[in-house]
Structure 1
Amino acid sequence: MARAALGWGVLDLAREAAVSTQTIVRFERGEALKQPTFNRICLAFKAAGIEFIPENGGGLGVRLARRLESK
């Protein structure tokens, strides 16, 4: 959901998180990642403006914490 909100593809997230595209594919399949790798992905999303929101009866989610600026 976070990638879609940003309009990012797998390559974009891999570049921003400094991980391989295969790591992103494994992550999105639900495979376990090493904690430092998971942290890099989360930090890349947060730097891009994604906010992770807690479960509130409907499940975990994400939202844009700030508007994206046009480039």
Structure 2
Amino acid sequence: MSILPQQSRAARGLLNWTQADLAAAATLGVATVKNFESERRETTAANLKAIQRALEDAGIELIPAKGGKGVGVRLREG
């Protein structure tokens, strides 16, 4: 599953991270995160993986769409 812009924004909210915080954790430019989250431009698969990995390393779990319910995010336990 690839991370969606909505999940990225929600995950940052749970972590109390700015876009700059996420960019630093993912080793990406702030403009890359801004453009992805605002859906101004599509980003590369490598950038998506970096964003997802940074959020997961910080304790975020991505919830895929299932049974007619939408996607989401939550903090992992422990």
- TM-score bracket, normalised by the shorter chain, equals 0.7 to 0.9
Question: What's the RMSD between the two structures over aligned residues?
Answer: 1.1
The answer for unaligned runs of 5 or more in structure 1 is: none
Between the aligned partners of 1:47 and 1:11, the Cα distance in structure 2 is: 16
Bigger share in helix? 2
SS in 1 for 2:43: coil
Q: Which has the larger radius of gyration?
A: 1
The answer for unaligned runs of 5 or more in structure 2 is: 1-9
Give 1:22 shift: 0.2
Q: Tell me if 1:49 matches 2:21.
A: no
Aligned length: 67
TM-score calculated relative to the size of structure 2 = 0.80
TM-score calculated relative to the size of structure 1 = 0.87
Indicate the percent of aligned positions where both proteins have the same amino acid: 37
Runs of 4+ in 1 over 6 A off after TM superposition: none
